[in-house]
Structure 1
Amino acid sequence: MDSNSDFFRIEKNNIQPEKGKVLIAEPFLEGRYFKRSIVLLVECNSDGAVGFVLNKPINLSIDEVLINIAHFDGDVFIGGPVDTNRIYFLHTIPDLLPHSLPVFDNLHWGGDFSVLKELIEQKLVQPDQVRFFAGYSGWSVGQLDDEINENSWMVSQLNVEEIMNCNNEKLWEKSLRRMGGKYKMWSNFPENPGMN
Protein backbone atom coordinates (compact mmCIF):
# COMPACT_ATOMS: atom_id res chain seq x y z
CA MET A 1 0.00 0.00 0.00
CA ASP A 2 1.51 3.36 -0.97
CA SER A 3 1.63 6.48 1.17
CA ASN A 4 -1.18 8.21 -0.79
CA SER A 5 -3.64 5.44 0.01
CA ASP A 6 -2.64 5.65 3.69
CA PHE A 7 -3.18 9.41 3.67
CA PHE A 8 -6.76 9.03 2.45
CA ARG A 9 -7.60 6.07 4.69
CA ILE A 10 -9.94 6.87 7.58
CA GLU A 11 -8.38 5.92 10.90
CA LYS A 12 -10.70 3.99 13.21
CA ASN A 13 -11.72 6.34 16.03
CA ASN A 14 -13.83 3.89 18.02
CA ILE A 15 -16.92 6.08 17.62
CA GLN A 16 -19.69 3.75 16.53
CA PRO A 17 -22.45 4.80 14.14
CA GLU A 18 -25.50 5.33 16.31
CA LYS A 19 -28.42 7.68 16.77
CA GLY A 20 -27.15 11.22 17.32
CA LYS A 21 -23.76 10.72 15.64
CA VAL A 22 -22.78 12.24 12.29
CA LEU A 23 -21.22 10.70 9.21
CA ILE A 24 -18.55 12.77 7.45
CA ALA A 25 -18.00 11.85 3.80
CA GLU A 26 -14.44 11.15 2.68
CA PRO A 27 -13.16 13.67 0.09
CA PHE A 28 -13.74 11.49 -2.98
CA LEU A 29 -17.19 10.14 -2.17
CA GLU A 30 -19.25 10.96 -5.25
CA GLY A 31 -22.91 11.59 -5.84
CA ARG A 32 -25.34 14.46 -5.76
CA TYR A 33 -26.50 13.76 -2.23
CA PHE A 34 -23.40 12.59 -0.41
CA LYS A 35 -20.44 14.39 -1.99
CA ARG A 36 -18.71 16.26 0.87
CA SER A 37 -21.72 15.79 3.07
CA ILE A 38 -22.39 15.58 6.80
CA VAL A 39 -25.26 13.24 7.71
CA LEU A 40 -26.92 13.23 11.13
CA LEU A 41 -28.14 9.76 12.11
CA VAL A 42 -31.60 9.92 13.71
CA GLU A 43 -32.05 6.14 13.82
CA CYS A 44 -29.41 3.42 13.76
CA ASN A 45 -30.24 -0.09 14.89
CA SER A 46 -30.44 -3.71 13.77
CA ASP A 47 -33.03 -2.74 11.12
CA GLY A 48 -30.75 -0.21 9.39
CA ALA A 49 -30.15 3.54 9.64
CA VAL A 50 -31.92 6.81 8.83
CA GLY A 51 -30.32 10.24 8.64
CA PHE A 52 -30.48 13.74 7.18
CA VAL A 53 -27.80 15.52 5.18
CA LEU A 54 -27.09 18.72 7.11
CA ASN A 55 -25.12 20.75 4.58
CA LYS A 56 -27.07 20.74 1.30
CA PRO A 57 -29.46 23.72 1.37
CA ILE A 58 -32.02 24.07 -1.41
CA ASN A 59 -32.07 27.86 -0.83
CA LEU A 60 -35.85 27.93 -0.55
CA SER A 61 -37.88 28.56 2.59
CA ILE A 62 -40.50 26.05 3.70
CA ASP A 63 -43.35 28.31 2.52
CA GLU A 64 -41.79 28.31 -0.97
CA VAL A 65 -41.82 24.49 -0.97
CA LEU A 66 -45.19 23.78 0.67
CA ILE A 67 -48.54 25.48 0.18
CA ASN A 68 -50.78 26.38 3.11
CA ILE A 69 -47.96 27.27 5.49
CA ALA A 70 -47.08 30.74 6.78
CA HIS A 71 -43.79 32.41 5.86
CA PHE A 72 -40.84 31.04 7.83
CA ASP A 73 -37.23 32.14 7.38
CA GLY A 74 -35.62 28.73 7.79
CA ASP A 75 -34.20 27.09 4.64
CA VAL A 76 -35.11 23.63 3.39
CA PHE A 77 -32.26 21.14 2.93
CA ILE A 78 -31.83 18.05 0.79
CA GLY A 79 -32.08 15.33 3.42
CA GLY A 80 -31.10 12.48 1.13
CA PRO A 81 -32.21 10.46 -1.88
CA VAL A 82 -35.14 8.63 -0.27
CA ASP A 83 -38.72 9.96 -0.33
CA THR A 84 -37.68 13.38 -1.68
CA ASN A 85 -41.28 14.47 -2.22
CA ARG A 86 -41.89 14.55 1.56
CA ILE A 87 -40.73 17.07 4.16
CA TYR A 88 -39.05 15.94 7.38
CA PHE A 89 -37.80 18.11 10.22
CA LEU A 90 -35.46 18.31 13.20
CA HIS A 91 -36.35 20.55 16.12
CA THR A 92 -35.60 21.58 19.70
CA ILE A 93 -39.22 22.08 20.80
CA PRO A 94 -40.41 18.60 21.86
CA ASP A 95 -42.67 20.05 24.56
CA LEU A 96 -44.64 21.87 21.85
CA LEU A 97 -44.71 19.08 19.25
CA PRO A 98 -46.53 15.85 20.12
CA HIS A 99 -45.21 12.54 18.77
CA SER A 100 -41.64 13.74 18.15
CA LEU A 101 -38.77 11.26 18.45
CA PRO A 102 -35.64 11.97 20.52
CA VAL A 103 -32.23 11.99 18.84
CA PHE A 104 -29.98 13.20 21.67
CA ASP A 105 -29.97 15.97 24.30
CA ASN A 106 -32.74 18.40 23.31
CA LEU A 107 -32.78 17.42 19.62
CA HIS A 108 -35.83 15.62 18.20
CA TRP A 109 -37.20 14.75 14.79
CA GLY A 110 -40.70 14.58 13.42
CA GLY A 111 -43.90 15.15 15.32
CA ASP A 112 -47.34 16.50 14.56
CA PHE A 113 -46.83 18.67 11.46
CA SER A 114 -50.24 20.37 11.79
CA VAL A 115 -49.18 21.61 15.24
CA LEU A 116 -45.88 22.87 13.79
CA LYS A 117 -47.78 24.77 11.08
CA GLU A 118 -49.89 26.46 13.77
CA LEU A 119 -46.77 27.37 15.77
CA ILE A 120 -45.22 28.92 12.65
CA GLU A 121 -48.41 30.82 11.86
CA GLN A 122 -48.55 32.18 15.42
CA LYS A 123 -44.82 33.03 15.28
CA LEU A 124 -44.16 30.83 18.32
CA VAL A 125 -41.19 29.05 16.76
CA GLN A 126 -37.90 30.48 15.46
CA PRO A 127 -35.75 29.35 12.49
CA ASP A 128 -32.99 28.15 14.84
CA GLN A 129 -35.50 25.78 16.48
CA VAL A 130 -36.57 23.87 13.33
CA ARG A 131 -34.69 22.54 10.28
CA PHE A 132 -36.60 21.16 7.29
CA PHE A 133 -35.43 18.44 4.89
CA ALA A 134 -36.75 17.18 1.56
CA GLY A 135 -36.22 13.44 1.74
CA TYR A 136 -33.91 11.41 3.95
CA SER A 137 -30.90 9.13 3.78
CA GLY A 138 -31.48 5.46 4.47
CA TRP A 139 -29.34 2.34 4.83
CA SER A 140 -30.58 -1.24 4.93
CA VAL A 141 -29.28 -3.81 7.41
CA GLY A 142 -25.47 -3.93 7.27
CA GLN A 143 -25.22 -1.37 4.44
CA LEU A 144 -23.84 1.49 6.55
CA ASP A 145 -21.29 -0.79 8.23
CA ASP A 146 -20.14 -1.90 4.78
CA GLU A 147 -19.76 1.70 3.61
CA ILE A 148 -17.79 2.63 6.73
CA ASN A 149 -15.52 -0.40 6.21
CA GLU A 150 -15.07 0.69 2.58
CA ASN A 151 -13.69 4.03 3.83
CA SER A 152 -16.65 6.12 2.61
CA TRP A 153 -17.57 7.66 5.99
CA MET A 154 -15.97 8.59 9.27
CA VAL A 155 -18.16 8.75 12.36
CA SER A 156 -18.03 11.85 14.53
CA GLN A 157 -20.34 14.06 16.54
CA LEU A 158 -21.70 17.60 16.61
CA ASN A 159 -23.59 19.31 19.40
CA VAL A 160 -27.18 20.48 19.06
CA GLU A 161 -26.21 24.10 18.48
CA GLU A 162 -23.85 23.14 15.66
CA ILE A 163 -26.58 21.04 14.04
CA MET A 164 -29.28 23.71 14.32
CA ASN A 165 -27.18 26.84 13.69
CA CYS A 166 -24.34 25.67 11.50
CA ASN A 167 -22.81 27.52 8.57
CA ASN A 168 -23.93 24.83 6.16
CA GLU A 169 -21.70 25.82 3.26
CA LYS A 170 -18.56 25.19 5.35
CA LEU A 171 -19.75 22.44 7.70
CA TRP A 172 -17.85 19.62 5.96
CA GLU A 173 -14.56 21.57 5.93
CA LYS A 174 -15.04 22.84 9.49
CA SER A 175 -15.76 19.34 10.83
CA LEU A 176 -12.62 17.93 9.20
CA ARG A 177 -10.41 20.79 10.42
CA ARG A 178 -11.62 20.24 13.96
CA MET A 179 -10.53 16.59 13.78
CA GLY A 180 -6.96 17.79 13.10
CA GLY A 181 -4.04 15.92 11.55
CA LYS A 182 -4.50 14.68 8.02
CA TYR A 183 -8.23 15.40 8.17
CA LYS A 184 -7.42 19.11 8.45
CA MET A 185 -5.49 18.76 5.17
CA TRP A 186 -8.41 16.87 3.62
CA SER A 187 -10.58 19.94 4.17
CA ASN A 188 -8.42 21.91 1.71
CA PHE A 189 -8.29 19.18 -0.92
CA PRO A 190 -9.86 20.37 -4.20
CA GLU A 191 -13.16 18.78 -5.24
CA ASN A 192 -11.69 18.06 -8.65
CA PRO A 193 -7.93 17.42 -8.24
CA GLY A 194 -7.49 17.49 -12.04
CA MET A 195 -8.56 21.14 -12.08
CA ASN A 196 -5.93 22.15 -9.53
Structure 2
Amino acid sequence: MPKKPHTLSLGPGTLLVSEPFLQDENFMRSVVLLCEHQEVGSFGLVLNKQSILTLDEVLEEMPLPHIPVFVGGPVEQNTLHFIYKSKHKFPGGIRLGEDVYWGGDFDLVVKGLLEGKIDEASIRFFIGYSGWSAGQLDQEVQENTWIVTNDIGAECLFEHTSDELWRYILKYLGGEFKQMANYPIDPRLN
Protein backbone atom coordinates (compact mmCIF):
# COMPACT_ATOMS: atom_id res chain seq x y z
CA MET A 1 0.00 0.00 0.00
CA PRO A 2 1.56 3.34 -0.97
CA LYS A 3 2.05 5.96 1.67
CA LYS A 4 -0.18 8.99 1.63
CA PRO A 5 1.38 11.94 -0.21
CA HIS A 6 0.89 14.15 2.83
CA THR A 7 -0.75 13.98 6.21
CA LEU A 8 -4.25 15.41 6.24
CA SER A 9 -6.33 16.22 9.24
CA LEU A 10 -9.69 14.50 9.42
CA GLY A 11 -12.77 16.68 9.58
CA PRO A 12 -16.11 17.44 7.96
CA GLY A 13 -15.86 17.13 4.19
CA THR A 14 -12.89 14.74 4.20
CA LEU A 15 -13.22 11.77 1.87
CA LEU A 16 -12.12 8.34 3.00
CA VAL A 17 -11.34 6.02 0.09
CA SER A 18 -10.99 2.36 1.07
CA GLU A 19 -7.76 0.63 0.22
CA PRO A 20 -8.16 -1.82 -2.69
CA PHE A 21 -7.98 -5.05 -0.71
CA LEU A 22 -10.26 -4.15 2.20
CA GLN A 23 -12.53 -7.18 2.58
CA ASP A 24 -15.13 -5.71 4.96
CA GLU A 25 -18.34 -6.00 2.90
CA ASN A 26 -19.65 -2.74 4.36
CA PHE A 27 -16.66 -0.77 3.07
CA MET A 28 -15.18 -2.75 0.16
CA ARG A 29 -14.27 -0.28 -2.63
CA SER A 30 -16.14 2.47 -0.79
CA VAL A 31 -15.89 6.24 -0.61
CA VAL A 32 -17.04 7.73 2.69
CA LEU A 33 -17.83 11.42 3.17
CA LEU A 34 -16.85 12.34 6.72
CA CYS A 35 -19.54 14.52 8.31
CA GLU A 36 -18.21 14.71 11.89
CA HIS A 37 -14.88 13.89 13.49
CA GLN A 38 -14.62 14.60 17.20
CA GLU A 39 -12.86 13.21 20.25
CA VAL A 40 -15.91 11.07 21.06
CA GLY A 41 -16.07 9.51 17.60
CA SER A 42 -16.72 10.00 13.91
CA PHE A 43 -19.73 9.92 11.58
CA GLY A 44 -19.76 9.50 7.81
CA LEU A 45 -21.82 8.38 4.82
CA VAL A 46 -20.79 5.82 2.20
CA LEU A 47 -21.34 7.62 -1.11
CA ASN A 48 -21.18 4.72 -3.52
CA LYS A 49 -23.39 1.93 -2.16
CA GLN A 50 -26.79 2.39 -3.79
CA SER A 51 -29.55 0.31 -2.22
CA ILE A 52 -32.42 -1.32 -4.09
CA LEU A 53 -34.82 1.09 -2.41
CA THR A 54 -36.24 4.41 -3.53
CA LEU A 55 -37.25 7.30 -1.29
CA ASP A 56 -40.98 6.60 -1.65
CA GLU A 57 -40.36 3.02 -0.47
CA VAL A 58 -38.47 4.20 2.61
CA LEU A 59 -40.93 6.90 3.67
CA GLU A 60 -44.64 6.18 3.48
CA GLU A 61 -46.69 8.75 1.60
CA MET A 62 -43.56 10.31 0.08
CA PRO A 63 -44.62 11.99 -3.16
CA LEU A 64 -41.14 11.61 -4.67
CA PRO A 65 -40.91 8.27 -6.49
CA HIS A 66 -37.80 6.91 -8.15
CA ILE A 67 -35.24 8.88 -6.11
CA PRO A 68 -32.56 6.32 -5.20
CA VAL A 69 -31.53 5.74 -1.61
CA PHE A 70 -27.95 4.83 -0.73
CA VAL A 71 -26.65 2.76 2.19
CA GLY A 72 -24.75 5.26 4.32
CA GLY A 73 -23.25 2.52 6.42
CA PRO A 74 -24.05 -0.39 8.70
CA VAL A 75 -25.11 1.66 11.75
CA GLU A 76 -28.79 2.47 12.50
CA GLN A 77 -30.23 1.64 9.10
CA ASN A 78 -33.58 2.88 10.34
CA THR A 79 -32.35 6.49 10.04
CA LEU A 80 -32.43 8.73 6.97
CA HIS A 81 -29.74 11.28 6.11
CA PHE A 82 -29.09 13.48 3.10
CA ILE A 83 -26.37 15.57 1.51
CA TYR A 84 -26.83 18.11 -1.25
CA LYS A 85 -24.96 20.43 -3.56
CA SER A 86 -26.19 24.02 -3.45
CA LYS A 87 -25.02 27.61 -3.22
CA HIS A 88 -27.22 27.96 -0.11
CA LYS A 89 -27.78 25.66 2.84
CA PHE A 90 -31.14 24.73 4.29
CA PRO A 91 -31.82 25.77 7.90
CA GLY A 92 -30.08 23.28 10.17
CA GLY A 93 -27.71 22.08 7.44
CA ILE A 94 -24.00 21.63 8.10
CA ARG A 95 -21.42 22.75 5.56
CA LEU A 96 -19.04 19.96 4.55
CA GLY A 97 -17.20 21.78 1.80
CA GLU A 98 -17.70 24.25 -0.98
CA ASP A 99 -21.37 23.96 -1.97
CA VAL A 100 -21.84 20.62 -0.13
CA TYR A 101 -24.12 20.35 2.91
CA TRP A 102 -25.35 17.60 5.19
CA GLY A 103 -28.89 17.64 6.57
CA GLY A 104 -31.21 20.50 7.27
CA ASP A 105 -34.94 21.13 7.22
CA PHE A 106 -36.31 17.98 5.55
CA ASP A 107 -39.72 19.50 4.81
CA LEU A 108 -38.08 22.36 2.89
CA VAL A 109 -36.00 19.85 0.92
CA VAL A 110 -39.09 17.85 -0.05
CA LYS A 111 -40.91 21.05 -1.00
CA GLY A 112 -37.94 22.19 -3.10
CA LEU A 113 -37.84 18.84 -4.90
CA LEU A 114 -41.58 18.87 -5.57
CA GLU A 115 -41.46 22.43 -6.92
CA GLY A 116 -38.44 21.68 -9.10
CA LYS A 117 -36.25 24.16 -7.20
CA ILE A 118 -33.88 21.35 -6.25
CA ASP A 119 -32.47 19.11 -8.94
CA GLU A 120 -32.71 15.43 -7.98
CA ALA A 121 -29.16 14.96 -9.27
CA SER A 122 -27.82 17.38 -6.63
CA ILE A 123 -29.11 15.48 -3.58
CA ARG A 124 -28.48 12.04 -2.14
CA PHE A 125 -30.44 10.22 0.53
CA PHE A 126 -28.95 7.54 2.80
CA ILE A 127 -30.28 4.93 5.17
CA GLY A 128 -27.89 4.29 8.03
CA TYR A 129 -24.44 5.73 8.51
CA SER A 130 -20.84 4.79 9.20
CA GLY A 131 -19.64 5.36 12.74
CA TRP A 132 -16.36 5.06 14.58
CA SER A 133 -15.73 5.19 18.32
CA ALA A 134 -13.21 7.57 19.87
CA GLY A 135 -9.82 7.14 18.18
CA GLN A 136 -10.99 4.25 15.97
CA LEU A 137 -10.92 6.13 12.68
CA ASP A 138 -7.53 7.71 13.44
CA GLN A 139 -6.17 4.20 14.07
CA GLU A 140 -7.64 2.89 10.79
CA VAL A 141 -6.05 5.79 8.89
CA GLN A 142 -2.66 5.04 10.50
CA GLU A 143 -3.07 1.40 9.45
CA ASN A 144 -3.65 2.55 5.82
CA THR A 145 -7.20 1.19 5.71
CA TRP A 146 -8.24 4.54 4.23
CA ILE A 147 -6.75 6.90 1.69
CA VAL A 148 -7.62 10.39 2.93
CA THR A 149 -8.27 13.35 0.66
CA ASN A 150 -9.74 16.83 0.93
CA ASP A 151 -8.99 17.60 -2.70
CA ILE A 152 -12.22 16.54 -4.45
CA GLY A 153 -14.90 19.00 -5.56
CA ALA A 154 -18.66 18.72 -5.14
CA GLU A 155 -19.12 17.85 -8.80
CA CYS A 156 -17.31 14.55 -8.31
CA LEU A 157 -19.58 13.47 -5.47
CA PHE A 158 -22.77 13.84 -7.46
CA GLU A 159 -21.76 13.26 -11.08
CA HIS A 160 -20.26 9.78 -10.89
CA THR A 161 -22.20 6.54 -10.54
CA SER A 162 -21.70 4.28 -7.57
CA ASP A 163 -19.62 1.93 -9.69
CA GLU A 164 -17.34 4.71 -10.99
CA LEU A 165 -16.69 6.86 -7.93
CA TRP A 166 -14.03 4.78 -6.13
CA ARG A 167 -11.93 4.36 -9.30
CA TYR A 168 -12.44 7.96 -10.38
CA ILE A 169 -11.07 9.37 -7.13
CA LEU A 170 -8.01 7.11 -7.16
CA LYS A 171 -7.27 8.09 -10.75
CA TYR A 172 -7.77 11.76 -9.85
CA LEU A 173 -5.24 11.46 -7.01
CA GLY A 174 -2.70 10.18 -9.55
CA GLY A 175 0.64 8.45 -9.06
CA GLU A 176 0.52 5.19 -7.15
CA PHE A 177 -3.15 5.77 -6.35
CA LYS A 178 -3.98 5.81 -10.07
CA GLN A 179 -2.44 2.35 -10.36
CA MET A 180 -4.53 1.13 -7.43
CA ALA A 181 -7.73 1.93 -9.33
CA ASN A 182 -7.08 -1.13 -11.50
CA TYR A 183 -6.19 -3.59 -8.73
CA PRO A 184 -8.41 -6.68 -8.65
CA ILE A 185 -10.63 -7.16 -5.60
CA ASP A 186 -8.83 -10.41 -4.84
CA PRO A 187 -5.03 -10.09 -5.31
CA ARG A 188 -4.82 -13.84 -6.02
CA LEU A 189 -6.62 -13.14 -9.31
CA ASN A 190 -3.78 -10.97 -10.55
5+ unaligned residues in a row in structure 1: which ranges?
1-7
CA distance in structure 1 between the aligned counterparts of 2:55 and 2:88, rounded to whole angstroms: 22
State the TM-score, normalized to the length of structure 2.
0.89
Do the aligned partners of residues 134 and 30 (structure 1) sit closer, same or farther apart at CA in structure 2, a change above 3 Å counting?
Answer: same
Residue matched to 1:4: none
Maintained 8 Å contact 2:88/2:99 = no
5+ unaligned residues in a row in structure 2: which ranges?
none
Maintained 8 Å contact 2:16/2:33 = yes
Return the offset for 1:159: 0.8
Alignment of 1:86-101 (within 5 A): 86-93=79-86, 95=88, 97-101=90-94
Find the residue that maps to 2:79 and give its secondary structure.
Answer: strand
Counterpart of 2:83, as a letter, is L
Q: Does 1:76 align with 2:66?
A: no
CA distance in structure 2 between the aligned counterparts of 1:94 and 1:52, rounded to whole angstroms: 21
Maintained 8 Å contact 2:82/2:125 = yes
Q: Does 1:61 align with 2:54?
A: yes
Residue matched to 2:105: 112
Residue matched to 1:46: 39
Computed over aligned residues only, the root mean square deviation of the Cα atoms, in angstroms, reads 1.9
Which residue of 155, 165, 173 maps to 1:171?
A: 165
Question: How many percent identity over aligned positions?
Answer: 35
Counterpart of 1:101, as a letter, is I
Residue matched to 1:5: none
Residue matched to 2:19: 26
Q: Does 1:37 align with 2:27?
A: no
Return the offset for 1:81: 1.0
Q: Which moved more, 1:89-98 or 1:31-40?
A: 89-98
Find the residue that maps to 2:45 and give its secondary structure.
Answer: strand
Task: Tell which structure's C-alpha radius of gyration is larger.
Answer: 1
Which residue of 117, 141, 144 maps to 2:137?
A: 144
CA distance in structure 2 between the aligned counterparts of 1:159 and 1:100, rounded to whole angstroms: 19
Which residue of 180, 185, 188 maps to 2:179?
A: 185
Residue matched to 1:122: 115
Alignment of 1:145-160 (within 5 A): 145-157=138-150, 158-160=152-154
Q: What does the per-residue CA deviation read over 1:127-168, in whole Å, with 9 as the maximum and x for residues that have no partner?
A: 122110111111121111100111101111321111122222
Return the offset for 1:116: 2.1
Aligned length: 189
Maintained 8 Å contact 1:33/1:78 = no
Residue matched to 1:3: none
Maintained 8 Å contact 2:16/2:34 = yes
Maintained 8 Å contact 1:18/1:43 = yes
CA distance in structure 2 between the aligned counterparts of 1:170 and 1:72, rounded to whole angstroms: 24
